[in-house]
Amino acid sequence: MRRQLMLVMLMCGSVLWMSKSPANAQTNYVAVNYDKIIPASKKYVGVPYQWGGTTAKGFDCSGLIYHVYSSLGIDVPRTTAEMYRMGVSVKKEDLRVGDLVFFDTDGNGVSHAGIYIGNGKFIHSSSSKGVIISSLDDPYYWGKTYIGAKRVLAYRLQPGRFQDIPTSFWAFNEIRTLSEDELMIGYADSYFKPNEPITRAEVASYLGEYLQLDLSDRSAIFKDVSSDHWAIGAINAMQKKGFLTGSNGNFRPEDNLTRAQLAVILTRVFQLKPPATHRSFTDVPPTFWAYKEIQALAASGITTGYEDGTFRPNDTVSRAQFAVFLYRSIHK
């Protein structure tokens, strides 16, 4: 055991070079979507440990953090020791997704690190098992060696609150709940960007995480989703379940989702049943390709359509609208 602990310290804390400056000034990174952190990390579960490794061929503990954060446009140093000297300290009870958690595995100071992913869990590259998800409160090892956490992301407000979502906002309660449940985290500087359209890749990642699917498959199922894509694990997991499909071998991950497409996805995921009495939408005739799914969505109370009697099936879905659809689907 002593030899293994020494290896953790050597492999995770002794790489002496760093490539980017610390992420202390995230105010310049408002465009960074923190919702990508979990799927971009979980897709590497099972990758083996490699001393000095920073690629999907193998990671050391700081190499995994460095790789994931760099891929999302978040600057962090390369070594565990440098990471521990950045950001601000965070109490264990105040941890949020994306905080870095640190461990003293040999009694000589910080020697191991991981990314907090919510619900008391963190993802890290262990010298014995490679990239895995562990519990911070593991009484046999990690709970005993935990020494603290650092916040390197720009969270300006408390969970559930965003600078662009006032309490009067029409979807405030739904967005707040999903944020507090760590399903929709938002962007840097505590922005939610409610009017931004939501993409197919983002929907795959939210639903894949909600369903607690295995997001580690990085195989090339779709021609336009490479193994480097942040959401490949979520996209593959949703495809395997039959919840999401592509066309002509492509998934079109960056395409914006329409209301009709979302109706189909939610009907599959939440197993919505068709109604006994159909609701009339003036722009959704019985011959419409997603008619049954839209009717199931309406019957469940997840959607009511618009006041003018339309459903607007071809309109793109905004982030706020998706939050409401998802919240109602979960709590139906």
Q: Which residues are catalytic?
A: 61, 112, 124
Sign of CA dihedral 225, 26, 188, 31: negative
> 253 near 284, Cβ under 8 Å?
no
What does the block give as tokens for 212? 């607690």
Q: Do the Cβ atoms of 228 and 202 come closer than 8 Å? A: no
45, 194, 319 from 35: Cα distances, Å = 18, 14, 12
**CA 299 remoteness from chain centre:** 30
Tokens 């049943």, residue? 273
Q: Can you tell me the distance from the alpha carbon of 83 to that of 15, in angstroms, rounded to the nearest whole number?
A: 12
**Distance (Å, rounded) from C-alpha 53 to C-alpha 56?**
8
Alpha helices in 155-284 (DSSP H): 172-180, 200-210, 232-240, 259-269
The C-alpha atoms of residue 73 and residue 3 are separated, in whole angstroms, by 36
Residue 62: alpha-carbon gap to chain centroid:
20
Identify which of 315, 180, 204, 231 has the alpha carbon closest to the alpha carbon of residue 41. 231
C-alpha dihedral, 200 to 202 to 206 to 207, nearest 10°: 10
First to last CA, the chain: 50
Strand boundaries in 72-129, DSSP class E: 88-90, 100-103, 112-118, 121-126
User: How far apart are alpha carbons 246 and 204 in whole angstroms?
Assistant: 12
* Residue 37, token pair as written in the block: 């952190």
Paired strand residues for 298? none
